[in-house]
Amino acid sequence: MKKLIVILIVFLILLFIIFRMMTVFKERKAQTSREIVDRIIPVEVEVVKTSPYTPILNYTGEVKGIEEIDIFPKASGKLVEMKVREGDRVKKDQLLALIDRDITGMKFELVETFSPVEGVVGKVYVDKGAQVNESSGGGGGTPLAQILNLDSIKIVIQVIEKDISRVKLYQKARINLDAYPGKEFYGAVTLISPTLNNLTHTASVEITIPNLNHLLKPGMFAEVELLIGKTEKLLLIPRYALLTEAGKKKVFIVKEGKAEVRWVEVGFSDGGFAQVESGLNLGDSLVILGQSQLQSGDKVRVVEREVK
């Protein structure tokens, strides 16, 4: 009988412990649920609007003179005098150099070499007293100087095969150079090679740019944006605002103080932006920071974006 009473007491104690544990568990679960329901998540937002967008192709190239002509002496001999220096402007038919044919036992008048074009002396290749050779019909010869036409310059870029069909003659191009940060130059496509390089599968494309002030100089590195389409107003959002779930794209907006999920169709991405074709409306408050913590229906607090 005593043994039965002991067993009964132990059973009641265990029952009380289990009941107490279940009660505590339910209380904690309820508290957690209340915390989840009551949590307020800080987010940053921006108003959804359309922005002007122009489709572009990005390439790099090097500035070259529209004309770059090497000048050769009219006769072989010794360079007696170079009449110009690098950077000098020259006119067509201006005297550039005097050559002494310097043949033993014979005396000749000095041979004059003239510029065939107007331009700027880009390089002087030889010094006074150097032996120089005229250019024969088969080539060779010693170049005296290089004359550049810098009133216009060209930039040659190598366009990859998949882009070449989108490049057209007289298409506008926007040029940026490290030498002039923040300043933009504009030119147009003036030559598209009819063939592609067999190794690189690229085609040479020339862009001509007016350069009356001679700010652009041969050898400068250029970043080229080919403007391949019309400017349109499109709904563009930051790419980092997008979330992916089960292969689909979604974003969150803030409506009446709560997060609301929107499933969106995305067109193209360009740089840090993505075009939204459907799923968002103009004027929506798009969450751009804090969206990874959100669930639809969460209470949110909109905070101002920090200005750095």
Res 166: pLDDT: 93
Cβ neighbourhood burial of 79 (10 Å; 0-12, 13-18, 19+): buried
Distance of alpha carbon 136 from alpha carbon 116, whole angstroms: 17
In this prediction, residues 230-236 reach a mean pLDDT of: 91
Q: What is the pTM of this model?
A: 0.64
Amino acid found at 254 = V
Distance CA 280, CA 262 (A): 7
User: At residue 146, does pLDDT exceed 90?
Assistant: yes
Q: What is the pLDDT of residues 263-279, one digit of tens each?
A: 999 998 887 899 999 99
Quick check: 137 pLDDT over 90?
no
For residue 100, is pLDDT > 80?
Answer: yes
Beta bridge partners of 124: 145
What CATH number labels 68-148?
2.40.50.100
Q: Select the more confidently predicted residue: 31 or 66.
A: 66
Q: What's the pLDDT at 3?
A: 66
Share of the chain above pLDDT 70, in %: 87
Tens digit of each residue's pLDDT (9 = 90 or more) over 158-189: 999 999 999 999 999 999 999 999 999 999 99
Q: Say if residues 292 and 41 touch (Cβ distance below 8 Å).
A: no
281 CB-near residues (< 8 Å, 6+ apart)? 48
Range 29-47 average pLDDT:
71
Which DSSP string corresponds to 148-178? EEEEEEEEEEEEETTTGGG--TT-EEEEEET
Confidence of residue 138 (pLDDT cuts 50, 70, 90): low
Domain boundaries, the chain: 40-53+232-302, 56-63+150-227, 68-148
Domain covering 40-53+232-302, topology: 2.40.420
- The DSSP 8-state label assigned to residue 136 in this structure reads B
Given pLDDT bands bounded at 50, 70 and 90, which one contains residue 85?
A: very high
At the fourth CATH level, the homologous superfamily of domain 56-63+150-227 is Efflux pump adaptor protein, beta barrel domain (2.40.30.170)
Q: Which residues pair with 119 in a beta bridge?
A: 90
Give the mean pLDDT of the chain.
Answer: 88
pLDDT for the residue 269: 85
3-state helix, strand, coil in the chain (%, to 5): 15, 50, 35
